[in-house]
């Protein structure tokens, strides 16, 4: 029987990749490749203003430089293209059409939503302001403002078992409320696009950062409504700077443009493998040489803090 295991890289090219992005790609690649599965590369460039083409090109070049190749995607093609989300909007439109009985236009501005939410630091729960507008009210408001489109969510737990973190559940009505599928500027939301694409591309295993764990119930609800089979999910710990901060392109954390001038691919992969618990030391190693004894059990659940001095991280 053909091996149907399919994983993916789904980077957003809004800048050069940092070590957290690299670790995610390395682990997704190892997880699938060491079991003979296939890797798909999909460029998540929905927000084209934030994702100039030069970053997508650099990202692909960086992955290949690190020894992380893909079986389907830009440059290679394949039966599930196009592999740029910015070219797949007809599919997202079609999904919205399927969901039209569960969606409604929302005219709230960001400012209004901010002032209605409690200052608890978490993402605000949408209070349902526009949930019960009549068609006449919505038509009237559409004359002066373009609405976003929200999905009605149920007041019940959505459960799944994460391959790394174990059982997880969330009641969407309490955790986020009705969520946006298309923004008022017309851009499709990540939650919708990622579900449509992972399903259309036959992805069976999603490996991604633990910051997306709480997005998974929203995505599972979309799979349910669209009648699609979800993949299995494995969320991985985040990479933190020596001072405990999350890495970000904006904070000037070392990104591939700088890393490539200072280190070889094997040095970077060796450091990442050690950080993720795959090897006891940070000796340089090629990505392909990690396949033989790759084992998810070695990867911890807690976030991974870089040690000062490693790959240019200075003590702060």
Q: Would you say how long the chain is, in residues?
A: 316
> Is 10 buried (19+), middle (13-18) or exposed (0-12) by CB count in 10 A?
buried
How near is the Cβ of 14 to ligand GLU at its closest, in Å? 8
Q: Which residues make up the interface to ligand GLU (CB under 6 A)?
A: 10-12, 44, 194, 208, 212
Please provide the DSSP assignment of 126-160 as one string: P--TTTT--HHHHHHHHTT-PPEEEE---SSEEEE
DSSP E strands: which ranges in 51-111? 103-106
Nearer to ligand GLU, 247 or 274 (CB): 247
Distances in whole angstroms, Cα of residue 62 to Cα of each of 76, 171, 264, 267, 291: 16, 39, 12, 14, 20
How near is the Cβ of 239 to ligand GLU at its closest, in Å? 13
Considering the candidates 100, 143, 249, 297, report the single residue annotated as catalytic: 249
Nearer to ligand GLU, 7 or 147 (CB): 7
How near is the Cβ of 196 to ligand GLU at its closest, in Å? 12
Place of tokens 């990622």: 194
How near is the Cβ of 18 to ligand GLU at its closest, in Å? 11
Q: Count of CB atoms within 10 A of residue 25's CB?
A: 26
How near is the Cβ of 128 to ligand GLU at its closest, in Å? 27
Nearer to ligand GLU, 194 or 254 (CB): 194
Nearer to ligand GLU, 12 or 38 (CB): 12
Catalytic annotation present for 249: yes
Enumerate helices (H) and strands (E) in the chain, giving the number of each.
10, 11
Nearest to 154 by CA among 178, 132, 130: 178
Distances in whole angstroms, Cα of residue 41 to Cα of each of 25, 44, 61, 80: 10, 10, 12, 11
**Which positions are catalytic?**
249
């Amino acid at each position: 029987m053909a091996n149907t295991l399919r994983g993916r890289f789904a980077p957003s090219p809004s800048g050069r990749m940092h070590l957290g992005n690299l670790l995610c790609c390395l682990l997704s690649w190892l997880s699938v490749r060491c079991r003979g599965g296939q890797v798909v590369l999909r460029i998540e460039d929905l927000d084209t203003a934030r994702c100039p083409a030069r970053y997508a090109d650099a990202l692909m070049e960086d992955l290949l430089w690190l020894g992380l190749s893909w079986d389907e995607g830009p440059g290679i093609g394949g039966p599930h293209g196009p592999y740029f989300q910015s070219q797949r909007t007809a599919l997202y439109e079609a999904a919205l059409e399927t969901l039209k009985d569960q969606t409604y236009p929302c005219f709230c501005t960001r400012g209004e939503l901010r002032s209605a939410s409690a200052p608890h630091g978490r993402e605000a729960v949408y209070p349902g302001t526009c949930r019960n507008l009549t068609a006449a009210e919505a038509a009237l408001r559409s004359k002066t403002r373009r609405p976003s489109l929200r999905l009605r969510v149920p007041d019940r737990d959505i459960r799944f078992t994460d391959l790394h973190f174990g059982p997880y559940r969330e009641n969407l009505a309490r955790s986020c409320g009705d969520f946006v599928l298309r923004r008022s500027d017309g851009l499709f939301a990540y939650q919708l696009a990622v579900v449509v694409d992972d399903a259309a591309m036959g992805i069976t295993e999603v490996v991604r950062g633990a910051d997306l764990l709480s997005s998974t119930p929203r995505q599972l609800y979309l799979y349910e409504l669209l009648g699609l089979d979800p993949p299995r999910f494995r969320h991985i710990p985040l990479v933190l700077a020596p001072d405990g901060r999350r890495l970000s392109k904006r904070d000037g954390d070392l990104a591939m443009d700088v890393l490539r001038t200072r280190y070889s691919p094997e040095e970077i992969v060796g450091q990442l493998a050690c950080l993720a618990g795959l090897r006891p030391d940070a000796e340089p190693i090629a990505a392909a040489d990690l396949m033989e004894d790759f084992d998810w059990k070695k990867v911890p659940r807690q976030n991974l803090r870089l040690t000062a001095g490693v790959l240019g991280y200075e003590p702060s």
